[in-house]
Amino acid sequence: MKKLKFDPLNIVICGIGGQGNVLASEIVASTMNDLGYRVAVGETYGASQRGGSVMSHVRVSETEDLGVLIPSGEAHIIIGFEPLETLRMARQYAGANTMVIYDPRPVYPLGVLQGNQSYPPIEEIKKELEALTAEAHAVQAADIAMEIGDTRAANVALLGAFSRLEGSPLNTEELAAILAQRFQGRALEINQKAFARGCEAIDGEGGGADE
C-alpha cells in the first residue's frame, strides 16, 4: 500500500443519470479497498431517471474510518462526466490542491432543448474550472466511446485518464487489472480500448504519470 498524497484523500465523481458515474465510483472505491485502504462512499441522486444530477463522494485513508461526505472546498480530485455538473461541483468542493478531469461534451437538459433555459458556453465553463482548480483536464470521453462503438464506455475512458494524472491514487496497472476482473468477452475488449484511449488523452498533454 503506497502512501497517499493527502490523507484523507477526497474524490468527487459527478454527472447525470445514465452516464455510468456510479459504476466508476464503485470501481475506484473497490480497487482502493482491495489495495488495503479504508474507504467510505456516499452518493446523492437528483432525478437520475430523468437526467438529473448524480454525485458520489469517495474518501480514502490509510488508517482512518471516515464519514462519507466531503467538506466543502476539500476535494482533491473531481471526475466529471458532464461539464456544467463538473463546474457545479467545483464551485462547492474545489480547493487550492484540486485536480479536475472532465468530459467537455454537454448534455443539454430539457429546458435548454425547449428554449426555456440557457446553457453557458463551454469555453466559459473551461475558464472557470481552470480558475477554481490547480489542474483542469478536458477529455473527450463520450467521443472516444462512440468511436470505439459503445457509448457506455465513456466512464472507463475517464478512468483511464484519471490513472495517468500525477498524484492519482491508482495507477494504470491497478485500474486495468480491475477491468479484467469486472468484464468479459466483447465488453472487456471495448472497455480496454476506452481505457487506453483515456490514458492517451492525458499522455498527449505531456502530463502522464510514471508507471
At residue 14 the predicted structure's pLDDT band, cuts being 50, 70 and 90, is: very high
Query: How far is it, in rounded angstroms, from Cα 6 to Cα 167?
Result: 9
What value does the mean pLDDT take over residues 144-159?
Answer: 92
What pTM does this model have?
A: 0.90
The domain made up of 9-142+166-183 is a member of CATH 3.40.920.10: yes
User: Which pLDDT does position 211 carry in this prediction?
Assistant: 44
Q: Which residues contact 145 (CB under 8 A, 6 or more apart)?
A: 151, 152, 153, 154, 157, 194
List, in sequence order, every beta strand (DSSP E) within 125-204: 135-138
Asked whether the predicted pLDDT for residue 46 surpasses 70, the reply is no
List the domain boundaries for the chain.
Answer: 9-142+166-183
**Of the candidate ranges 43-47, 77-81, 85-89, 92-96, the one whose mean pLDDT is the lowest:** 43-47
Q: pLDDT tens digit string along 153-198?
A: 999 999 999 999 888 999 999 999 989 998 899 999 999 999 999 9
**Of the candidate ranges 78-82, 86-90, 139-143, 178-182, the one whose mean pLDDT is the lowest:** 178-182
At residue 54 the predicted structure's pLDDT band, cuts being 50, 70 and 90, is: confident
Q: What share of the chain in percent tops pLDDT 90?
A: 68
At residue 120 the predicted structure's pLDDT band, cuts being 50, 70 and 90, is: very high
**Strands 75-80 and 94-102, how do they pair?**
parallel
Residue 104 near residue 138, CB atoms below 8 Å: yes
CA distances from 170 to 3, 98, 176 (A): 11, 16, 10
